[in-house]
Amino acid sequence: MSTMQYDEQFVEMLAAKIADRATEIMTDRINSRNTDLPHILTREETMDVLRCGKSTLAELMRRPDFPVTKEFGTKIPTHLLFKWIEKNTRWVDENTDYFKAI
């Protein structure tokens, strides 16, 4: 059985390429999903997008930074929801070790 050894620079370059490609794939998925959705989401549609239940959505909707409008019933603007997800995912990445532990 043969073994291969790689220097740290090669491993870091490979990891960066994998991360970049994974980001591209996720962005494509979000963008394609976003075009299939209405411009304004109901609570049920938002739970489906976030794959969460009523109590989790209720917690999110109480946050001051979560994009909720109550002008015509409780609704969530789709484009603002995806911006919120992106912003908060970056915050977790930049301010915690959550993704480093995975």
Tens of pLDDT, residue by residue over 4-46, are 788 888 888 888 888 888 888 877 776 665 567 899 999 999 9
pLDDT of residue 66: 96
The DSSP letter of residue 100 is T
The answer, as to whether pTM is greater than 0.75, is no
Indicate the domain borders of the chain: 1-36, 39-102
Query: Which has more confidence, 51 or 99?
Result: 51
Q: Per residue in 58-90, pLDDT tens? A: 999 999 999 999 998 999 999 999 889 888 877
Burial 17-55 (b: 16+ CB within 10 A, else e): eeeeeeeeeeeeeeeeeeeebeebbebebbbebeeeeee
CA distance 87 to 29: 17
